[in-house]
Amino acid sequence: MSIFALTAIILLLKGAVNKHFCRKSFRIYFIFVISYGQQKAKIETAVSGLYLQIFDEVRVLEIRTDLAIENTEVQKGGMEGLSVEEYSLADIRVTCVEVQTPQAAELVRKPIGRYVTAEGMNLTEDFRNVREQIEGLAKEIRKMLPQEGAVLVAGLGNRAITADALGAKSIGHILATRHIQGNLAESTGLKGLRSVAAVAAGVLGETGLEAAEMLWGLTEVIRPAAVIAVDALTARSMERLGNTVQLGNTGIVPGSGVGNHRYPLNEETLGVPVIAVGVPTVVDAATLVYDLSGGRFPEEAAGKSSDSLHMTVTPRNIDAVTDRAAKLVGMAINCALQPEYDFDTLAALVS
């Protein structure tokens, strides 16, 4: 592609991002064409800088969310290769999104697979108060799991950052049973428990290991039938923070919701099915501005540097939200993995 064509495309893109720039685009382009021969090096440097600035602004305007339901809401009307089913389950609104084709996957920015979103979860200090909701969520998790075999539950995220601590905290509420075998199982009356191991994977800065590397090593040793990965998510809407749970059978890319993409955790990288369980705890600042303005990104914000909008927003009571969500998710996973035991027994075992 010639430098002239590239510059024309760049100027048009700039105009799409910021309409105030559009009026100047053609005048700048003609000046560029005239002076190119004399100032080649300087102009190519300027074009490179303009290119980077444009795509920096495009990143600012990107609507970030980990929730499949929010990506489908952006798409107007029906879409071929995408199935959306809504139903109620124990006073919670459930939306099942099935991404069936590569074209649909590209539009909703999710791999082909099944995504279940439960909205209206009631987070309380005592999870016994929301028994029906937890049991309903457990049924949805169980649908994604192999019927038999050991399961490794992995908590992702940084325990030191409250909004990112969901995965690590949920591990404290998982009933680990891999060590309860033989005489110990008989003497405690806990025969028939499914083998479960639980680990908080930590973050690269803490351990020097990517979560994917650590979990790959563990799966090689434990040989589980599946991995359940629990992580905090990013939402588009403030209304979904802390009261929504998303399940997915395609794994997860830690940090993707806030632009910090790590190695993916999925069947391709770990060799076993990976079920992702997450609760949104943060909203991207640029996305929040877009949402609160009714889907129109303010012109004055579009002209600002990306640094001014590269922030995340959390609820004021994020400590309580994270603690309660960890208990709810942990208990739902326990109920999904141990259907032979009733809710009260499992609650007593993890208390």
Q: How many CA atoms lie within 13 A of 136 on its CB side?
A: 20
Query: Range of 280's domain?
Result: 68-350
Domain end: 13, 45, 61, which one? 61
Q: State whether 117 and 57 are in the same domain.
A: no
**pLDDT tens digit sequence for 280-290:** 999 888 777 77
- Answer yes or no: is pLDDT of 20 > 80: no
Looking at the DSSP bridge assignments, the partners of residue 94 are 87, 118
- Answer yes or no: is pLDDT of 351 > 60: yes
Query: Cα(37)–Cα(19) distance, rounded to whole angstroms?
Result: 29
**pLDDT tens digit sequence for 226-241:** 999 999 999 988 888 8
| Residue 308: band (very low, low, confident or very high) from pLDDT cuts 50, 70, 90 | low
The mean pLDDT of 196-209, rounded to a whole number, is 92
**pLDDT tens digit sequence for 81-122:** 899 999 998 788 999 999 999 999 988 889 999 999 999 888
Q: State whether 46 and 124 are in the same domain.
A: no
The number of distinct structural domains making up the chain is 2
Q: State whether 127 and 177 are in the same domain.
A: yes
Q: CB-based contacts of 78: which residues, under 8 Å, 6+ apart?
A: none
Q: State whether 219 and 251 are in the same domain.
A: yes
The pTM assigned to this predicted structure is 0.78
**pLDDT tens digit sequence for 204-216:** 888 899 999 999 9
Q: Which pair of structure tokens corresponds to residue 282?
A: 């943060």
Q: State whether 39 and 160 are in the same domain.
A: no
- Strand 274-284 relative to strand 226-235, pairing: parallel
Q: State whether 165 and 246 are in the same domain.
A: yes
For the chain, the average pLDDT equals: 80
- Answer yes or no: is pLDDT of 4 > 60: no
Check residue 238 and report its DSSP letter: G
Q: State whether 292 and 309 are in the same domain.
A: yes
Q: State whether 30 and 174 are in the same domain.
A: no
Residue 196 near residue 176 (C-beta atoms within 8 A): yes
Q: CB-based contacts of 81: which residues, under 8 Å, 6+ apart?
A: 99, 100, 101, 102, 103, 104, 105
Q: State whether 185 and 312 are in the same domain.
A: yes
Q: State whether 216 and 260 are in the same domain.
A: yes
Q: State whether 36 and 160 are in the same domain.
A: no
